Amino acid sequence: MIAERMRHNLQVSATSTMMKIVPHWSWRLVSRDYPAIMCFMTAPEATPPRALWLRDGGRVLLDLSGEWRRGGTEPVIEGEAGDRLPEAYVTDGLGTFDSTLPAFLLAMIRRMEAAEPPLEGLPPNLHGLMELALAVPEEIEARGEPEESTPIKVLGAASMNVWAGVRSINEFTGQSMLSLGRFMAGRARFRPRDFWMIVEDCGAKALPIVSLISFLIGLILAFVGNVQLANFGASLYVADLVGIAMVREMGVVMTAIIMSGRTGAAFAAHLGSMKANQEIDALRTFGFDPFDFLVLPRMLALVLMMPLLTVYSNIIGILGGMLVGAAVGIPPILYWNETLSIVTLENAFLGVFKSVFFGIVIAMCGCLQGMHAGNSSAAVGLATTRAVVASISAIIVLDSAFAAIFTILDI
Amino acid sequence: MPGSTSHSPAKAKIAVRDLTMAYGSFVVMRDLNFEVAEKDIFVIMGGSGCGKSTLLRHLIGLREPAKGSILFEGEDFTATPAAERGRFIRRMGVMYQSGALWSSLTLAENIAMPLEEHTQLPPGTIRELVSYKLALVGLSGYEEYYPAQISGGMNKRAGIARAMALDPDILFLDEPGAGLDPLSSRRLDDLILRLRDSLGSTIVIVTHELASIFAIANHSIFLDTATRAQGATGNPADLRDHSENPAVRLFLHRGEETEAPAPIRS
């Protein structure tokens, strides 16, 4: 059976090897001598891809046939060759093929780890593709040899990374403080226009989102509080709850989180893309200190705007509570008086005090990640993500610390 | 092109001595020794990733050498503390790979910023200087455009205009022709030649565009990726025809193998 097939193959091979990439029907016309009329009437049926191992005397041959196309059926492999590569190929039954066939052959050759596998009998285009794929790669443009990694090395690299991270944060903080010092001494230079644009961007332009979030937070606090307090007939104390919660915690924390996502991310993305575009190098070349020029105005703008936004957020949150109060039967005047009686200047000041620190943290996280971003667009995205994650985490940690301190100080 | 000029140490604008560049423990290039003479158009060439741009960053003081030194007009630039390097750096103009214009400023503001920082000129004079610099690079009328609104070639030319803002003695251009169509690239070459001839500045260019190299350079260094050391220095056309280093000939012939050279003419 096999021998017969081979004989047939060898007979037609001379005519058919030239025709592999021409449309299906036409090579059939030539190689199989079907009546022409049949070819136009029957749609080309997809013969499944097949690889058949043959023996011809001492030689091992691989007969490739069928349509090797993506999305077709899996290739059928018949026969055994043991650990040998084919010394030649038989391709008379081979239809059209795309990359699946060379990929199949390359994988087979790679498995055998043959240095110079024979490619005899492959049609010229496939032969050319295989030669290209098997060519010895040129010397890889060096970026150092890849090192083998062991768990110890991975652990070591991770700890070194943590250490490098700590160092870069310290260095950055130090440089920011020096820059702030130069500003106080009147020696730091940045463009006032840049500063006012940043102020506008992280102040006035943040009002809508801060309004929405604060109003809803006030609303939610009032709803939740009212459900509990109504059990005791103490609905009026909703005003106390919302007032204290907003001015001490929720107002400032929510504003800080909004600003991390909005402004901290923008800082990181802006500085990161400036770095990728070598604009920061260009600043250095012209003798501008990138800290004075880029980090300082951002930090100052946030330190200036955060307290204002916090006060605004507190007021809007209390208004949100008042709306719920009105809905559950607390007259706004009563609600307002109750709020005034509980929200002392001291309470209100605590939130505003914290907002200054949160502003510094957001600006530092955003600028640090931006300045340390890598030189690609993907690195800018990574820097943005890191900036937001770092500043939100830092805000919550810092807020817990403040809570502990205020409790101990009994404020 | 004029043949290679003489390179006596006294006239050298920049002299590099035994410079080894490294990122951590990874050595990029070792033991570089070359000089850039006054009014040279000096090309730093070599394959991708061989450290051309890294060498440029060393020359303009953005990276510290692992070993060796760089002399600027005979003064050791690398031994000077970073804080005092301003006086050297102020005499250098740099155009970065894609222009690196400050994207939030217009072209005019980009060029005006160094002038405002380092000079006491009145705003009117600065405006005149800015439009003159833009006119030199053929960008008159683009003063109020932002870098994102103009083409890549224009960005590079504006980058050159900014590099020339403070009338530097020496201009560094990082891959000026990369990513430009042949005509823009040619125009940029012409611009560079005319700037050298009329301003008398020394120009150091990082590039691997052969057409540009032969058209404008009169001196060059070839960084060899394989050996991580300098392959040759000299006039590019001479190197192409007479270099004894096969890697240099291969590079300058675009990968065609060539016969061993005839002896270098004296």
Average per-residue pLDDT for chain A: 84
Instruction: Determine the residue type at B66.
Output: A
| Inter-chain residue contact A282 with B100, CB threshold 8 Å | yes
Residue A45: per-residue pLDDT: 58
Q: For B61, which residue in chain A has the nearest alpha carbon? A: A285
- The least confident of A57-61, A268-272, B9-13 is B9-13
Instruction: For residue range A249-273, list pLDDT tens digits in order.
Output: 999 999 999 999 999 999 999 999 9
Pseudo-torsion of CA B195, B196, B200, B201, nearest 10°? 90
Q: For A141, which residue in chain B has the nearest alpha carbon? A: B49
Distances (CA, A) of A25 to A11, A22, A39, A92, A124: 20, 8, 6, 15, 20
Is the Cβ of B103 closer than 8 Å to some Cβ of chain A?
yes
Pseudo-torsion of CA A310, A316, A318, A319, nearest 10°? 170
| Inter-chain residue contact A143 with B86, CB threshold 8 Å | no
Pairing type for strands B67-72 and B12-23 reads antiparallel
Pick from A365, A356, A372, A363: which is nearest to A393 by CA? A365
Is residue A11 predicted with pLDDT exceeding 60?
Answer: no
CA of B140 vs chain A CAs: smallest distance (Å)? 23
Is residue A67 predicted with pLDDT exceeding 50?
Answer: yes
The pLDDT-based confidence of A32 (bands split at 50, 70, 90) is: very low
Residue A364: per-residue pLDDT: 93
Q: How far is it, in rounded angstroms, from Cα B223 to Cα B58? A: 15
Q: What angle separates helix B123-136 from helix B107-118, to the nearest 10 degrees?
A: 130
Domains and CATH numbers, chain B: 38-53+90-252 (3.40.50.300)
| Inter-chain residue contact B103 with A288, CB threshold 8 Å | no
Instruction: For residue range A363-388, list pLDDT tens digits in order.
Output: 999 999 999 888 888 889 999 999 99
> Closest to A277 (Cβ–Cβ): which among B49, B90, B100?
B100
| Inter-chain residue contact A285 with B89, CB threshold 8 Å | yes
Is residue A5 predicted with pLDDT exceeding 60?
Answer: no
Is the Cβ of B167 closer than 8 Å to some Cβ of chain A?
no
The mean per-residue pLDDT over the stretch A334-346 comes to 92
Beta bridge partners, B221, equal B44, B233
Residue B85: per-residue pLDDT: 81
A vs B, Cβ pairs < 8 A, gives: 62
- Give me A122's structure tokens: 């492959």
CA of A265 vs chain B CAs: smallest distance (Å)? 17
Instruction: Determine the residue type at A188.
Output: A
Is the Cβ of B98 closer than 8 Å to some Cβ of chain A?
yes
> Closest to B48 (Cβ–Cβ): which among A141, A279, A282?
A141
Is the Cβ of A193 closer than 8 Å to some Cβ of chain B?
no
Chain A residues near residue B90 by CB distance under 8 angstroms: 287
The pLDDT-based confidence of A10 (bands split at 50, 70, 90) is: very low
Is the Cβ of B117 closer than 8 Å to some Cβ of chain A?
yes
Is the Cβ of B90 closer than 8 Å to some Cβ of chain A?
yes
| Inter-chain residue contact B90 with A287, CB threshold 8 Å | yes
Is residue B64 predicted with pLDDT exceeding 60?
Answer: yes
> Closest to B117 (Cβ–Cβ): which among A141, A284, A286?
A286
Is the Cβ of B152 closer than 8 Å to some Cβ of chain A?
no
Q: Which residue has better confidence, A133 or B14?
A: B14
Chain A residues near residue B148 by CB distance under 8 angstroms: none
Instruction: For residue range A88-139, list pLDDT tens digits in order.
Output: 888 888 888 888 888 888 888 888 777 778 888 888 888 888 888 887 665 5
10 Å CB burial of residue A382 (0-12, 13-18, 19+) is middle
Residue A126: per-residue pLDDT: 85
- Answer for the pair A85, A109: CB distance below 8 angstroms, yes or no: yes
Residue A69: per-residue pLDDT: 82
Residue B265: per-residue pLDDT: 53
Q: How far is it, in rounded angstroms, from Cα A324 to Cα A326? A: 5
Average per-residue pLDDT for chain B: 84
Pick from B64, B65, B70: which is nearest to B12 by CA? B70
Is the Cβ of A200 closer than 8 Å to some Cβ of chain B?
no
Chain A residues near residue B225 by CB distance under 8 angstroms: 139, 141-142
* Residue-wise DSSP of B149-171: GS-HHHHHHHHHHHHTTT--SEE
Is residue B102 predicted with pLDDT exceeding 70?
Answer: yes
Chain A residues near residue B86 by CB distance under 8 angstroms: 287
Other CB atoms within 10 A of residue B16 CB: 22
Instruction: For residue range A383-404, list pLDDT tens digits in order.
Output: 999 999 999 999 999 999 999 9
Selected for mutation to probe chain B from A194, A278, A294, A298 (highest B CB count within 10 Å) is A278
CA dihedral for A235, A239, A244, A246, sign (positive or negative): positive
Pick from B56, B58, B63, B7: which is nearest to B35 by CA? B7
Is the Cβ of B259 closer than 8 Å to some Cβ of chain A?
no
| Inter-chain residue contact B98 with A278, CB threshold 8 Å | yes
Percent residues over pLDDT 90 in chain B: 15
Where in chain A are the domains? 2-134, 179-409
Q: Please name the residue ranges forming H helices in B200-234.
A: 210-216
| Inter-chain residue contact A143 with B114, CB threshold 8 Å | no
Beta bridge partners, A55, equal A60
The mean per-residue pLDDT over the stretch B65-82 comes to 86
Instruction: For residue range B165-207, list pLDDT tens digits in order.
Output: 888 889 999 988 877 888 888 888 888 888 888 888 899 999 8
> Closest to B47 (Cβ–Cβ): which among A141, A144, A191?
A141
Which value does ipTM take for this structure? 0.78
Pseudo-torsion of CA B81, B86, B87, B92, nearest 10°? 120
| Inter-chain residue contact A189 with B117, CB threshold 8 Å | yes
Q: For B91, which residue in chain A has the nearest alpha carbon? A: A286
| Inter-chain residue contact B90 with A189, CB threshold 8 Å | no
Selected for mutation to probe chain A from B21, B95, B96 (highest A CB count within 10 Å) is B96
Is residue B10 predicted with pLDDT exceeding 60?
Answer: no
The residues, any chain, with a CB within 8 Å of residue A396's CB and separated by 6 or more, are: A253
| Inter-chain residue contact B92 with A281, CB threshold 8 Å | no
In degrees rounded to 5, what are phi and psi of residue B43? -110, 130
CA of B266 vs chain A CAs: smallest distance (Å)? 36
| Inter-chain residue contact A279 with B48, CB threshold 8 Å | no
Residue A86: per-residue pLDDT: 84
Residue A210: per-residue pLDDT: 96
Residue A264: per-residue pLDDT: 95
Residue A139: per-residue pLDDT: 52
Q: Which residues of A276-293 are buried (b: 16+ CB within 10 A; e: fewer)?
A: bbbbbbbbbbbebbbbbb
Instruction: For residue range B207-236, list pLDDT tens digits in order.
Output: 888 888 888 999 999 988 888 888 888 888
